Amino acid sequence: MPWSPRTAPSWALLLRLLALLRPPGMVEACSCAPAHPQQHVCHSALAIRAKISSEKVVPASTDPADTQKMIRYEIKQIKMFKGFEKLKDVQYIYTPFDSSLCGVKLEANSQKQYLLTGQVLSDGKVFIHLCNYIEPWENLSLLQRESLNHHYHLNCGCQITTCYTVPCTISAPNECLWTDWLLERKLYGYQAQHYVCMKHADGTCSWYQGRLPLRKEFVDIIQP
């Protein structure tokens, strides 16, 4: 699962955690648990729209014995969707230099804009990695862009469960089944792009596309 915004470790500790999460024997691999865009926003301390102005490789700490490196991206923040209580404006974001530790490669000095989600560390720096939701802004659907302002935040009490195989059933009334992988064999398919798991007054949750409920075959996948 994505890191909780309630935890704000230092760079050194976070790099060690990423190293521990790396699968044994896969030195050059980065492995992340799947998460719906709504989950990413709910579990992140920060969500912003930004352009990347420049990049620089910097030490991960002031300890001379620490050989870890970070990439420091200087950004131009366009809009902040989440993180107001922690930061007013973000100038730099940091990511591991080592790709096996889930470092993120972004295009600097271009017109490309990104949606960036990440953590705010104990020293106030913003940290991102490949297990966060990081997408070119142009790739986001209209619903996703609108949901960054309201729907995702307001429905963080809902649980989203990835459905890989059938049978796949809801185990709690506040749960939505995420079926993109099952039906499309890709992670961020039509459901991730066009649906929000929304909470009702009675505490139950269900998928909605705008004001229309998700088709029944997405919700009740019981039999092959």
Domain positions in the chain are 37-60+67-209
Q: Is 32 annotated as a binding residue?
A: no
**143 SS3 class:** helix
pTM for this structure? 0.80
pLDDT score at 209: 86
Amino acid at 164: Y
Structure tokens at 131: 């297990």
pLDDT of residue 70: 94
- The predicted pLDDT at position 78 comes to 96
Cβ pair 206, 176 in contact under 8 A: yes
Q: Which residues pair with residue 118 across a beta bridge?
A: 46
The two three-digit tokens of residue 222, written as one number: 């019981």
The per-residue pLDDT for 218 is: 44
**72 and 59 Cβ atoms separated by less than 8 Å:** no
Q: Which fold has domain 37-60+67-209?
A: OB fold (Dihydrolipoamide Acetyltransferase, E2P) (2.40.50)
pLDDT tens by residue, the chain, 224 residues = 444 444 445 555 555 555 444 444 444 578 888 999 999 999 999 999 999 999 999 998 888 887 889 999 999 999 999 998 888 889 999 999 988 889 999 999 999 999 999 999 988 899 999 999 999 999 999 999 999 998 999 999 999 999 999 888 889 999 999 999 999 988 899 999 999 999 999 999 999 986 544 444 444 443 32
DSSP 8-state assignment for residue 101: G
Q: Residue 173 contacts by C-beta under 8 Å, 6 or more apart in sequence?
A: 203, 204, 205
* 45, 8 Cβ separation under 8 angstroms: yes
Backbone angles phi, psi at 96, to 5 degrees: -60, 140
Q: Quick one: which of 47, 114, 52, 50 has its CA closest to 85?
A: 47
Phi, psi of 8 (to 5 degrees): -135, 75
- Whole-number pLDDT of residue 224: 28
